[in-house]
Chain A
Amino acid sequence: MDMNFTPEEVIFRNEARSFLADRLPDALAAKVKGGKRLGKADYELWHDRLKKRGWLAWHWPAEHGGTGWTPIEKHIFEEECVAAGAPRVVPFGLNMLGPVLIKFGSDEQRSHYLPRILNGDDWWCQGYSEPGSGSDLASLKTKAVRDGDHYVVNGQKTWTTLGHFADWIFCLVRTDSDCKPQEGISFLLIDMKTPGITVQPIITLDGEHEVNEVFFEDVRVPVGNLVGEENKGWTYAKYLLTYERTGIAGVAFAKSGLAHLKQVASRQMKGGKPLAQDPLFATRVAQVEIDLMAMETFNLRIVSAAQHGGVPGVESSMLKIKGTEIRQEITDLLRRALGPYAAPFVPEALDAGYNEPPIGPDEANPVASQYFNMRKVSIYGGSNEIQKNIVAKMMLGL
């Protein structure tokens, strides 16, 4: 039993910290911490700074331009990034497609796409869910039919996060319908500029545009854009879903959310005293803090096992469930901490250039929207109920 970081890991943490202090613009960190809206340029700027330092592709081996970091180094870097208020690394190209291409792609695909992902030439999005295929993803119907040197794709993808920024989409498509659903799926790379693709925004309950619907009508995709073998896409998709999920618990996000909650509670007043001193509210905060402390250790147990060569399995599902519950609880308390001022809905105030005086405390503006937005985390990436099914099957043999 040794719960300490090694001296080298401590040095690495300090390096990460000074890099962030030096290269993360204050204005960008303020936007992230203040819950303001981020544009494509914000993400691109941050990707570029990380890339120049060689720290953009955490999940890639060094030979492909990645960091080659250990699980603990990734954990440390993510913690420092979130604490400093860095924007998240947009995961689709870097954390999802990259590892799939490295493992299953052809040499040509690797040498073409990987540098373009690193350089920010291509912005990727993910084409998995469909209107009729949510938790039951393998039932997907978007069809790809071989026609000479092309696949012809027809169908619809949905919940496509940041698809409106994307140049390319990696898609799960049906190439065989006469077999078990999982065995007729292929993994296809599609240029979003191809004729026949339409992107339509979906406005979520917080009034924001983050996700989209993507329609495919006779879209011709060169067969060279198939990853791996035809009808083996489900294997690659599962690999992508379970790959490198050391961050799945969202410990760093929860910690920074809790710190923010405590600050807000120390500024909000109740009966002439800070809300933080209200016994009922203080114990609610204490309860989620205790859960978070335990989950942080739980997460470190898994990260450390991965560091020693273990492969995280159902633990990822458990961390996903607990991590999302905790993050939802924190945003719930944050919303309640603001009292009546959680109600005003001024979406323009989330833009950086907004100059009107805030209604109520400035920190009140995003909290209700964030709370509603956070309902997604127990739904996406395999809903928490699906995660429970996975644990029941894999760990308990039920």
Chain B
Amino acid sequence: MDFNLSDDRRMLKESLSRFLQDRYGFETRNEIAGSEEGFSRELWAQMAELGLIGAMLPEEVGGFGGEGFDIMTVMEELGRAIVVEPVLPTAVLGAGILADAGSETQRSLLESVIAGERLLAFAHGEPESRYSLSEVRCRAEKTGNGWFLSGQKAVVLNGDTADKIIVSARTSGADDAESGLTLFLIDADAKGLSGRGYATVDGGRAAEITLDSVEVSDEDMVGTVGEAFPVIERAVGRGILAACAEALGAMETAKDMTLEYLQTRKQFGAPLGKFQVLQHRMVEMCLEIEQARSATILAAGRMNEDRAAREAALSAAKNLVGRTARLVAEESIQMHGGIGMTWEYALPHFAKRLTMIDHLFGDADHHLERFAALSQAS
């Protein structure tokens, strides 16, 4: 048993950390977040060069990682600087699905993704599906040697800047059936596909996507007809792990900033940190962060185990991270006082990202219920 990072991962972590310290200060980050595309193509290219995308993918598709701990290592560092570049939708979700279930042709696209030349998105959630993975109303109707896709996709991360989008659609079965789901890889400029992009409250970007009889061929199908659910669940599982790790990084920064503030801000003639009521709240925060880290480590370590063990650990981690992220976000603002309410200060932007991560892939309640259901089924 050894909880230390391997040398390769430690080196990647260190180089990424240096890069972000040098190039991704808070002001730069906010400028990028407020720009038209919502991220920097220049920095994206540099991140790709650092090997950040390749680290998320296995060797057989040209990457050099792809294990749970690779995702965790990279995403935690990104979280420390609340990076807005579309790593999650492109490298974790989109590229992860193609590596998992794509055809030879589709997998060959990954070379350009790893090089930072192609952006991806995963359009799965719908206006009425909330956090369900099986509720899909978007339909794919069979034509001669292809399909027509019609439906709505909601809050698609990177949906307005991706070059290619992986769309889930129902090819058979009831609206909420796990069977009958199929994935398609579609060009973002396909006829009949339209998107309405928007900023998200935590500094990112997403889009509402409408598919109106979008024509795709059989070759655009990712995996087998009607059997996409396990692929979707695995993809979202990697997404959950990535979100948890990103939250850990953001929590560490929020904690460090709050601690520094307690040590320097003086009231009643003493640093705030001299007041026991604040000391104890700070300790509670640290303790819960260690719990959240532990749950994320457990989930990362179980990514290659059977479904029951893997999904239980993922739901446990997402629940615990969701609760802890809220605690850290709210407590950090509270202990900062007024300055924690301002746009110009970095801390509240970390708090916003931490809070909104709970809305990704299922919140703390969703995963508590899911964990209970998985636990009863086993």
Q: Which residues of A contact B (CB under 8 A)?
A: 1-6, 9, 72, 276-277, 279, 282-283, 285-287, 289-291, 293-298, 300-301, 303-305, 307-308, 315, 318, 321-322, 385, 388-389, 391-392, 395-398
The answer to whether B1 and A304 touch across the interface, beta carbons within 8 angstroms, is yes
Bound CA–CA A315/B286 (angstroms): 11
The answer to whether A291 and B280 touch across the interface, beta carbons within 8 angstroms, is no
Per-residue CB contact flags for chain B residues 255-288 toward chain A (1 = under 8 Å, else 0) read 0000100110000000001101011101110110
Q: Which of B9, B259, B371 contacts A286 (CB 8 A)?
A: B371
Bound CA–CA A385/B276 (angstroms): 10
B69 to A, closest residue via Cβ: A1
The answer to whether A398 and B274 touch across the interface, beta carbons within 8 angstroms, is yes
Bound CA–CA A291/B313 (angstroms): 11
A3 to B, closest residue via Cβ: B301
Known contacts A283-B369, A388-B280, A391-B283; is-contact A396 B273 (Cβ 8 Å)? yes
B128 interfacial by beta-carbon distance below 8 Å: no
Bound CA–CA A63/B197 (angstroms): 71
Bound CA–CA A396/B280 (angstroms): 11
Bound CA–CA A298/B296 (angstroms): 10
Distance to closest chain B CB from A56 (angstroms): 25
What's the dominant secondary structure at chain B's contact region? helix
B4 interfacial by beta-carbon distance below 8 Å: yes
The answer to whether B294 and A301 touch across the interface, beta carbons within 8 angstroms, is yes
The answer to whether A276 and B376 touch across the interface, beta carbons within 8 angstroms, is yes
Per-residue CB contact flags for chain B residues 68-95 toward chain A (1 = under 8 Å, else 0) read 0100000000000000000000000000
B290 interfacial by beta-carbon distance below 8 Å: yes
Q: Indicate the member of B5, B279, B292, B317 with the most A CB atoms within 10 Å.
A: B279
Bound CA–CA A300/B2 (angstroms): 9
Top 8 A-B pairs ranked by shortest CB distance?
Answer: A286-B372, A392-B279, A398-B273, A297-B294, A298-B294, A294-B295, A3-B301, A290-B316
Which B residues lie within 8 Å of A277 (CB)? 376
Bound CA–CA A321/B286 (angstroms): 12
Q: List 10 A-B contacts (CB under 8 A).
A: A1-B297, A5-B1, A294-B317, A296-B294, A305-B3, A318-B287, A388-B283, A388-B284, A398-B274, A398-B278
Which A residues lie within 8 Å of B294 (CB)? 294-298, 301
The answer to whether A2 and B376 touch across the interface, beta carbons within 8 angstroms, is no
Per-residue CB contact flags for chain B residues 1-42 toward chain A (1 = under 8 Å, else 0) read 111111001000000000000000000000000000000000
The answer to whether B372 and A283 touch across the interface, beta carbons within 8 angstroms, is yes
B372 to A, closest residue via Cβ: A286
Bound CA–CA A354/B55 (angstroms): 64
Known contacts A301-B3, A397-B263; is-contact A290 B283 (Cβ 8 Å)? no
The answer to whether B292 and A294 touch across the interface, beta carbons within 8 angstroms, is yes
Distance to closest chain B CB from A284 (angstroms): 9
The answer to whether A289 and B283 touch across the interface, beta carbons within 8 angstroms, is no
The answer to whether B3 and A318 touch across the interface, beta carbons within 8 angstroms, is no
A297 to B, closest residue via Cβ: B294
Per-residue CB contact flags for chain B residues 363-378 toward chain A (1 = under 8 Å, else 0) read 0000011011001100
A6 to B, closest residue via Cβ: B1
The answer to whether A318 and B372 touch across the interface, beta carbons within 8 angstroms, is no
The answer to whether B301 and A1 touch across the interface, beta carbons within 8 angstroms, is yes
Distance to closest chain A CB from B305 (angstroms): 11
Which B residues lie within 8 Å of A395 (CB)? 283, 286
Distance to closest chain B CB from A50 (angstroms): 25
Distance to closest chain B CB from A295 (angstroms): 7
B298 interfacial by beta-carbon distance below 8 Å: yes
The answer to whether B291 and A322 touch across the interface, beta carbons within 8 angstroms, is yes
Distance to closest chain A CB from B357 (angstroms): 17
Distance to closest chain B CB from A112 (angstroms): 38
Which B residues lie within 8 Å of A2 (CB)? 1-2
Q: Indicate the member of A6, A279, A287, A289 with the most B CB atoms within 10 Å.
A: A287
B329 interfacial by beta-carbon distance below 8 Å: no
A305 to B, closest residue via Cβ: B3
B73 to A, closest residue via Cβ: A1
Distance to closest chain A CB from B8 (angstroms): 11
- Beyond the given A308-B4, A392-B276, A396-B282, could you list 7 further A-B residue pairs with CB under 8 A, ordered by the A residue number? A3-B301, A293-B313, A296-B294, A297-B294, A298-B293, A301-B294, A398-B274
Known contacts A3-B301, A300-B1; is-contact A282 B283 (Cβ 8 Å)? no
Bound CA–CA A286/B323 (angstroms): 14
Which B residues lie within 8 Å of A304 (CB)? 1-3
A281 to B, closest residue via Cβ: B372
The answer to whether A385 and B280 touch across the interface, beta carbons within 8 angstroms, is yes
The answer to whether A290 and B1 touch across the interface, beta carbons within 8 angstroms, is no
The answer to whether B301 and A286 touch across the interface, beta carbons within 8 angstroms, is no
Distance to closest chain A CB from B332 (angstroms): 14
Known contacts A3-B1, A297-B297; is-contact A396 B368 (Cβ 8 Å)? no
Which A residues lie within 8 Å of B291 (CB)? 291, 294-295, 298, 322
Which A residues lie within 8 Å of B121 (CB)? none
The answer to whether B5 and A1 touch across the interface, beta carbons within 8 angstroms, is yes
The answer to whether B368 and A287 touch across the interface, beta carbons within 8 angstroms, is yes
B319 to A, closest residue via Cβ: A290
Bound CA–CA A388/B278 (angstroms): 11
A277 to B, closest residue via Cβ: B376
The answer to whether B295 and A293 touch across the interface, beta carbons within 8 angstroms, is yes
Which A residues lie within 8 Å of B156 (CB)? none
Bound CA–CA A123/B376 (angstroms): 45
The answer to whether B368 and A392 touch across the interface, beta carbons within 8 angstroms, is no
Q: Which of A282, A297, A315, A391 contacts B376 (CB 8 A)?
A: A282
